[in-house]
Amino acid sequence: MDYLSNVMLDVLKFFYAIGGQNYGLSIIWLTIAVNLALYPLTLISIKQMAAMQKVQPRMKELQKKYKDEPTKLQQEIMALYKSEKVNPLGGCLPVLLKIPFFLALFFALQSKEFLAIAASSQFLWMTNIVKPDPTYIMIVLIGLSTWLSQKSMPTSPDQNQMMLIIMPFFIAFISISFPAGVQIYWVISNLMGWVQQEYILRKKVNA
């Protein structure tokens, strides 16, 4: 992780040099770059989630038909996935790949080097991006952006309602103690995810 955080710190310095001489802006540019780089995987993920949503009615029929035959039910579900070219895990890949970037940024912002060069780095209303936002505005934005990103995801109605209610509060709560720079990354990443999802789904509908 030290290697990844050092690489992330070098990338932040690069965006700082070319993107406005502000570490808050450099984090935004970094987040945009990460999401654009992962766009091909996001495209696959959204298509897989849409495919899963499409087969939900048929899955419910199978579950009702083979409710007393779990082995047969599993076989029929796998056959359905194969015929519709659905990968039930296909929607998870972009999220999993974003985790290393998030952790690398988190540790980079905690490193002695970054604390030395950005100890008083300001961005918008935040007086120090290496410390949590004391106004909690970023916490609210994290919750709202998480809700917005999830709301646009193609999921089954039951899953969508449950996750839409619980997850934004959970994510906002655990991010309270994060450095403001990480909170910025989270908000921008959520907004980028929402924009990409809306674009992919609209393009798919209009195709």
CA distance 139 to 168: 10
The pLDDT averaged over each successive group of 10 residues in the chain (207 residues) is 74 81 85 83 75 75 75 77 69 68 77 73 82 91 88 60 77 88 88 83 60
CB 15 within 8 A of CB 25: yes
pTM over 0.85: no
